[in-house]
Amino acid sequence: MNDSKTALYRLNAFYESADSFVDFSELETSAVAGALKFELGKNTELKFDLEYSKINQSYPSGLPAIGTVLPNPNGEIKRDRNFASEDSEYSPEVFRVGYDLEHRLSENWSLRNAFYYSYLYQKIRGVRPASLEPDFRTLQREGDDRDSKEYIFDLFTNVVGKFSTGAIDHQLLFGVDLRKYNSSSFALRTFQGTPIDIFNPVYSSQRLEVINRPYDDETSINLIGIYLQDQITLADNFKLLLGSRFDAFEQTDEDLIEDTETSQSGDAFSPRLGLVYQPIEPISLYASYTRSFSPTIGRSVDGEPFEPGRGTQYEIGVKADINDRLSATLALYDLTRTNVTTADPDNPDFEIQTGEQNSQGVELFVSGEILPGWNIIGGYAYTDAQITQDETFAIGNRINNVAESSFNLWTSYEIQSGNLQGLGFGIGFFYVGDRQGDLDNSFTLPSYFRTDAAIFYNRGQFRASLNFNNLFDVDYFESANDDLSVFPGEPFTVQGTVSWEF
């Protein structure tokens, strides 16, 4: 914005309109984001950000498991079917604005302060599957007409400094986070929709019997987080990270129809520890331990507020620089979530806090350039994710949508010289193993192997590409919410892209 380049701006705008392979599932997205940055002297920088986006989307309902991954005596359900109403609508709208101020107090110390205001509005209209009749073709449906609004105020302040105690170097971080969250949720009605024949659908958006009363709720949450962290360099090849965080919250919930109010509060201390050791320069061995905290909304049947949800993670790993262009990382981890809420077996309308879930696994990741122009990105993950404590689901049940084994490999080559310089080709392979479709483990999503490919051309500021996704048109299922909402993967798709950088 000026010759000295101490006043800068950025503006991004985006628009997308798209159909889907799923019947009457459409998407329209528009967004704009802008930023202003000012250098207020050589030690101070001030940035203003603004973002706005809006999505108009009719969403797929998913398909029943019986007729997709499980046999149905009436046949197989077409993967492009959608059992939501034709006028279903999901329209989120997001606005965010704020500033970020950074001031260098000295050569080794800096202060940062930022404030952001966020607003989210969601409009939901439409129906969803409710139950499948014993004839295995009549699908009962229900739906919502509801709106929700969220207002979030975030204030961040932290100071970062470097200093030494003898031969030991420190990088200290101290900060305070404040958040105020307000939300309102208003339902016009929760209703029964018209039944539909999943093999010969006749669509109707008619609202039948209202099955739940309207609701009008408001929630207010105040949170504070205080954290301190020290990154200690004990030697050139050995670093230690020590950190701790204290979080506290207060929450008030109001039912404006019943004119009732409840409140709860909680706090937690979360330590973290990490270290990195390099026996030789290309090899980094690391280990970490961390605890996490999140407020748990709700109360038990006797009116006692829930304890905050907690997470504990242990991880060890090694990163190796195979050469100056290619690296690999191997990690082993153990993650446990505690204070998970689950349905109260004696009072189904309430929850109790006895749930625990554990995930253990190994991850291998490789990326870089094998030879000039020949790039590779690949990974393998083994994950053992299961329920370890619960009053509703069986101990040992696997977490839904988590495959025990998954693998991906993408490699591309771009011609480096001659008349065809800039022309390139890529191919990718993606494998996802069997996954449970729900926490009951009542059905399994089968494994799949998908192949993608690409042809592209780069020259100067110009780039054009053709991407071929699911090259062999493999039928597969990507995920599931439950036995009435199984989501098929995208069939063979060709996407063309042209871009110009300036």
Quick: pLDDT tens for 218-249.
889 999 999 999 999 999 999 999 999 999 99
Answer yes or no: are the C-beta atoms of 469 and 489 closer than 8 Å.
no
How many C-beta atoms surround the C-beta of residue 129 within 10 A? 23
62 sits in the region (left: phi over 0; alpha: psi -120 to 50; else beta) called left
Q: How many domains does the chain have?
A: 1
Q: Place 311 in a pLDDT band, splitting at 50, 70 and 90.
A: very high
Q: What is the pTM assigned to this prediction?
A: 0.85
Q: Answer whether residue 348 shows pLDDT above 60.
A: no
Give the pLDDT score at 14: 93
| Sequential DSSP letters for 405-438 | EEEEEEEEEE--SSTTTTEEEEEEEEEE--EESS
Residue 483 counted as domain residue: no
CATH of the domain at 157: 2.40.170.20
For residues 32-68, one letter each, b for 16 or more C-beta atoms within 10 angstroms of the residue's C-beta and e for the rest, the string is: eeeebbbeeeeeebebebebeeebbbbbbbbbbbbbb
SS (H, E, C) 51-92: EEEEEEECCCCCECCECCCECCCCCCCCCCCCCCCCCCEEEE
Position 103 in a domain: yes
Q: Is the pLDDT of residue 256 over 90?
A: no
Tell me the per-residue pLDDT of 180-212, one tens digit each, with 9 for 90 and over.
999 888 776 677 888 999 999 888 777 776 666
Whether 482 shows a pLDDT value over 90: the answer reads: no
**Is residue 371 one of the residues assigned to a domain?**
no
Report yes or no on 297 lying in a domain: no
Over residues 18-25, mean pLDDT: 88
**What whole-number distance in Å separates Cα of residue 497 and Cα of residue 466?**
7
Question: For residue 270, is it within any domain?
Answer: no
Position 25 in a domain: yes
Share in percent of the chain as helix, strand, coil (round to 5)? 0, 70, 30
What's the pLDDT at 339? 84
Give the domain extent around 83. 1-213
- Asked whether residue 195 is domain-assigned, the answer is yes
Average pLDDT over residues 333-355: 74
Residue count (the chain): 502
pLDDT over 70 at 347, yes or no: no
Whether residue 414 is contained in a domain is answered as no
